[in-house]
Amino acid sequence: MAELTLDSVTKVFNDGGSDEVVAVDDLSMGIEDGEFLVLVGPSGCGKSTTLRMIAGLETVTDGEIRLGERTINDSSPADRDIAMVFQSYALYPHMTVRENMRFGLEESTDMPDDEIRSKVEGTAAMMGIEDLLDRKPSELSGGQQQRVALGRAIVRDPSAFLMDEPLSNLDAKLRATMRTELQRLQADLGVTTVYVTHDQTEAMTMGDRIAVLDDGVLQQVGTPLECYHTPNNRFVAGFIGEPSMNFFPTARSGDTLSAEQFTYPLPEAVASSLGDATEVTLGVRPEDVEVRPAVDDLGDHDFACVVDVVEPVGESNNVYLRFADAPEGETFIATISGMRNVAAGDRVGATIPPSAIHLFD
Ligand code: ADP
């Protein structure tokens, strides 16, 4: 077991060519011993490339990757003591489950045969696949193949696990079950893990910390709640949270923000923290927008709105609102309890509380 360190790691594909791509740009972060770190970001942001560089499947253009004290940039994948689990499971189709699980141990260690057998059987029992040991991958369901792929990684007892969207081929229900199971397994084993996903819900529910990447550049590393409550920038604010944060571009003059649809006075302390920025984006999470019956005496942070669409989502509703003063403007979202009776066309009051706003310049 070990901590994993990325020190100014850069990956450039087709370096110097006209089709050069900077896939990962000067990425530095430390993953603590035993930590579950989720690398999250939209498709093409450099997640897989980062993971593949750690695994040794891709060379590093610049920077250093260390496992514990050891620099592993130039070690072969087999010498890195790292196990990777892929989205596609990558099981050997001609081998049984038992042979798939044995294979890595036979290749990388000189462990005696009976010890290999007992490790494979012990891990299979832990993963609940002991009855499947003599089947071929083609005789297994997707969920079972997934367990075998994990079991094959675990049996090697590596210093770190790398997982590239390992649950994305499973149906939604099984995915949710496996999330919890994988998290518990990782905590029990205490193995440093880097887990890649494009799904912010997966990141928020699984990671001890999450690292948000955009366009090859690290935007924020923090606990899920830190990234949620104190996003470093607008990208993180918009990417983390479902439904996404509402954003309103505004022109700022002193302590007043003027959006297309409304004006919004800021508390003085908040306004002074903005320095001399004149273009400010005001963000508010849907669950922080307060919706109540329409009233006539509107306060500074209250707005007359019309309900455009109500989207029931389990125990809550996503209510798409339009400012009554800007009937052609874009809608914004408020999440309210599903018990509340709100319908399209209703006139309501919406409050954007100053304590809940996020400002980005
Ligand atoms: P993600 O895993 O976040 O979807 P990737 O790491 O796969 O992103 O890709 C990051 C960027 O690098 C993308 O622009 C992708 O097109 C590019 N890229 C990935 N692999 C290669 C390659 N072998 N050759 C050229 N460009 C690549």
The structural domains of the chain, ordered by start, are: 4-239 (3.40.50.300), 246-360 (2.40.50.140)
Ligand 1 centroid distance, CA of 120 (Å): 35
- Please tell me if the CB atom of residue 42 comes closer than 6 angstroms to any atom of ligand 1: no
Q: Whose CA is nearest to atom 24 of ligand 1?
A: 13
- Please tell me if the CB atom of residue 193 comes closer than 6 angstroms to any atom of ligand 1: no
Report phi then psi at 97, rounded to 5. Answer: -55, -45
Ligand 1 centroid distance, CA of 312 (Å): 37
User: Can you tell me the distance from the alpha carbon of 323 to that of 309, in angstroms, rounded to the nearest whole number?
Assistant: 13
pLDDT for residue 5:
98
pLDDT for residue 86:
86
Ligand 1 centroid distance, CA of 294 (Å): 50
Ligand 1 centroid distance, CA of 247 (Å): 29
Ligand 1 centroid distance, CA of 198 (Å): 14
- Please tell me if the CB atom of residue 185 comes closer than 6 angstroms to any atom of ligand 1: no
Ligand 1 centroid distance, CA of 46 (Å): 6
Burial of 167 (C-beta count, 10 Å sphere; 0-12/13-18/19+) = buried
Preceding peptide of 243 cis, ω within 30°: yes
- pTM of the full structure: 0.92
323 touches 196 (CB < 8 A): no
Q: Whose CA is nearest to atom 10 of ligand 1?
A: 46
pLDDT for residue 297:
86
Burial of 101 (C-beta count, 10 Å sphere; 0-12/13-18/19+) = buried
Q: What angle do CA 187, 182, 99 make, to 5 degrees?
A: 110
Convert 69-106 into a string of H (helix), E (strand) and C (coil): CEECCCCCHHHHCEEEECCCCCCCCCCCHHHHHHHHHH
Going by C-beta distance under 8 Å and a sequence separation of 6 or more, which residues neighbour residue 61? 10, 11, 12, 15
- Please tell me if the CB atom of residue 283 comes closer than 6 angstroms to any atom of ligand 1: no
Number of CB atoms found within 10 A of residue 334's CB = 27
User: Can you tell me the distance from the alpha carbon of 213 to that of 194, in angstroms, rounded to the nearest whole number?
Assistant: 14
- Of 49, 51, 218, the one to substitute when testing ligand 1's pocket (max ligand atoms within 8 A of C-beta) is 49
Report the atom number in ligand 1 closest to the C-alpha of 52: 6
Going by C-beta distance under 8 Å and a sequence separation of 6 or more, which residues neighbour residue 106? 116
- Please tell me if the CB atom of residue 143 comes closer than 6 angstroms to any atom of ligand 1: no
- 244 residue type, one letter: S
Write out the chain's pLDDT in tens, 361 residues.
689 999 999 999 998 889 999 999 999 999 999 999 999 999 999 999 999 999 999 999 999 999 999 999 999 998 899 999 988 888 999 999 999 999 878 877 788 889 999 999 999 998 889 999 999 999 999 889 989 999 999 998 899 999 999 998 888 888 898 899 899 999 999 999 999 999 999 999 999 999 999 999 999 999 999 999 999 999 999 999 999 999 999 999 999 999 988 999 999 888 988 889 999 999 999 999 999 988 788 899 999 999 999 999 888 999 999 999 888 888 999 999 877 789 999 999 999 999 999 999 8
User: Can you tell me the distance from the alpha carbon of 187 to that of 61, in angstroms, rounded to the nearest whole number?
Assistant: 33
Q: Whose CA is nearest to atom 21 of ligand 1?
A: 13
ipTM confidence: 0.99
pLDDT for residue 290:
96
